[in-house]
Amino acid sequence: MKFQYKIQTKDGKISEGVIEAPDKFALTKQFRDQGTIPLMIAEKKGALEINIPFIDALFGKIKLSEKIIFTRNLAGMLTAGLALSRALQVLHKQTKNKKFQNVIEDLMKNIDKGGTLSDGMAKYPKVFSTLFVSMVRAGEESGKLAPSLSEIGANLEKSYNLTRKVKGAMTYPAVIISAMFLIGILMMIYVVPTLTGTFKELNVELPTSTKLVIWISDTLSSSPLLVFASLIGFVFLMRAFIRAERTQPFIDIFVLKLPVVGNIIREMNSARTARTLSSLLASGVDVTRALQITKDVVQNVHYKKLLQKAVDSVQKGVPISAVFKERIDLYPVMVGEMMEVGEETGKFGDMLLEIATFYESEVEAKTKDLSTIVEPVLMILIGGAVGFFAVSMITPMYSLMDTIS
C-alpha cells in the first residue's frame, strides 16, 4: 500500500512525500522509531474518512459507568481468547439496561454480517463518541483491539472520576444554597405576614429594608403560582441564553475568568486534551485527525477554536506546541513547553501522557481544597442573609419601643 505522509524531523523541519508500507500503523511505528513525528499519514488513493459528529455520552440514557464496565469486560474477554461475537453475547446477558442490550444486540448482528465492531458502534453516536469509535477502529486495523479497548476503558474511567470529584466538590454548596433558599421562602410565607400584621396595627414607621422584605412576602403569599411559574420561566430563559450560539463564547470566557473555578476548568481541559491526544496517537491515528477528534471532546468553544487552529497550522507545517504556547490564557505555560520538548526529542506522545497525569493530579488536589474555600464563603452569605432579615424585622420593633417609652 502507498501512503502520503507529512512528518516533522528531529531538527524541526517538515518533510512530506509518498512511501510504501504494509499498513498505516506499521508506517507510524517506522517514523517514530526514526525519531520523527508523523503529522499526517493517508492512503494515496484516499483513505476512508470518518466524519461522525461527537455527542457527549454523558447526555445519553446509558450511563458512563455502564460503558466503562462494558469496555473493561470486553477487553478482558478478548485478551482471554474469546471470540468477539461470543464476548458480546456474554455482555448482552450481563447488561441490565434495556437500551444498552439493544445496542449490543445490534453490534452482534453487525459482526455476524461480516461488519466490524467500529462500524456498528458508529451507528450510535449518542452511546459511543467519535474518540471511542476511532480508537476501536485503530485497534481493529492494527490487530490490537483488546489493548485499544483497555486504553479506552482507562480513559473513560479517569474522565469519570475527575468529573465526579469536581461535581462532588460543588454538591455541598449547592445543597446549602438550595436549603437556604427554601427556608427563606417558608419564612416569607408564614413568619413575615404575622409580623407585618402587627406593624400595621400599631402604625409603625418602616425602614426601606423592612418594606422590601414585606413586599417579597406579600408577592409570595398572594400569587405563589405566578411566582413559581415566573421562576420556572426564568430558569428556562437562562438555560436558553447559556446554550445560545451567540452567547456561548461570552459564557465560556466568563466561566474561565471565575476565581478558583476557572483555574480548575483550565486544568481539566489541559488534562483532557493531553490524554485524548496521547491515546489517539498511541493507537496510530494521525495528528490532524487526532486534533479534530480532541476538538469534539472539549466543550468550551474557545478550546474548540484553538484546536481547529492547531489542525490548520499542522497542515501548514507549524509545530503543535507553537499554537498552544500562543494561548496561555487557555492552556498553562507548561503545556506548550512540554509539547515542544516532546517534539524536539521525538517523544511527543510520552510528554502528552505526562501532562495529562500531572493536571489530573492537580485537579484532584484542588477539588479537595475547594470545600475549605467554599465553606467560609457560604457562612458569610448565610450570615449576611440572616443578618439582613433580622435587622429588617427588629428595627421596627425598636422604633415601637421608643414610641411607647
3 state DSSP class of 304? helix
- Given a contact cutoff of 8 angstroms between Cβ atoms, the answer to whether 284 and 25 are in contact is yes
Average pLDDT estimate for 146-162: 84
Distance of CA 220 to the CA centre of its chain: 38
Judge whether residue 52 has pLDDT over 60. Answer: no
- Report how far residue 244's alpha carbon sits from residue 386's, in angstroms, rounded to the nearest whole number: 36
Question: How many Å apart are CA 14 and CA 317, to the nearest integer?
Answer: 6
How far apart are the C-alpha atoms of 340 and 344, rounded to whole Å? 6
pLDDT of residue 340: 93
pLDDT, position 25: 60
Query: How crowded is residue 206: how many other Cβ atoms within 10 Å of its Cβ?
Result: 17
Q: Give the Cα-Cα-Cα angle 168, 170, 173 (nearest 5 degrees).
A: 125
Does 53 have pLDDT greater than 50? no
Q: Which of 141, 96, 100 is nearest to 118 (CA)?
A: 141
Question: Where does the pLDDT of residue 342 fall: very low under 50, low under 70, confident under 90, or very high at 90 and above?
Answer: very high
Tens of pLDDT, residue by residue over 86-105, are 999 999 988 888 899 999 99
The rounded distance, in Å, linking the Cα atoms of 62 and 136 is: 19
Q: What is the pLDDT of residue 323?
A: 92
**Residue 47: what pLDDT?**
37
Q: Determine the residue type at 396.
A: P
Distance CA 378, CA 170 (A): 12
The residue among 386, 363, 371 whose CA lies nearest residue 213 is 386
pLDDT at 402: 64
Please check the confidence at residue 331 and state whether its pLDDT lies above 50.
yes
Sorting pLDDT into bands at 50, 70 and 90, what band is 332? Answer: very high
Per-residue pLDDT averaged across 254-261, rounded? 84
Residue 154 has pLDDT above 60, yes or no: yes
Give the model's confidence band at 374: pLDDT under 50 very low, under 70 low, under 90 confident, else very high. Answer: confident
**Are 38 and 32 in contact, with CB atoms under 8 Å apart?**
yes
Confidence grade of residue 274 (pLDDT, cut at 50, 70, 90):
very high
Low-confidence winner among 126-130, 151-155, 241-245 (lowest mean pLDDT): 241-245
| 225 to 167, 186, 187, 189, 192: CA distances (angstroms) | 32, 15, 17, 13, 19
Say if residue 354's pLDDT is above 90.
yes
Contact status, residue 157 vs residue 64, Cβ threshold 8 Å? no
Task: Say whether pLDDT at 59 is over 60.
Answer: no
Quote the pLDDT of residue 50: 39
Q: Which three cell numbers stand for residue 201?
A: 396595627
Q: Is 291 within 8 Å of 125 (Cβ atoms)?
A: no
100 CB neighbour count, 10 Å cutoff: 22
What local confidence, expressed as pLDDT, does residue 405 receive? 54
Nearby residues of 133 by Cβ (< 8 Å), 6 or more positions away: 50, 52, 118, 121, 122
Mean pLDDT of 122-134: 86
pLDDT in tens, 223-246: 778 778 888 888 888 888 777 777
Residue 43's pLDDT band (cuts 50, 70, 90):
low
Helix (H), strand (E) at residue 14: strand 14-20
Q: So what's the pLDDT on residue 339?
A: 93
**pLDDT bracket for residue 352 (50, 70, 90):** very high
Task: Give Cα separations from 47 to 17, 50, 119, 283 (angstroms).
Answer: 16, 9, 15, 17
Grid cell 524531523 — which residue? Answer: 9
Q: Which of 119, 63, 129 is nearest to 96 (CA)?
A: 63
pLDDT at 57 over 50: no
pTM over 0.95: no
Question: Average pLDDT, whole number, for the chain?
Answer: 82
Q: What is the pLDDT of residue 23?
A: 59
The pairing of strands 37-43 and 14-20 is unpaired
DSSP state of 57: G
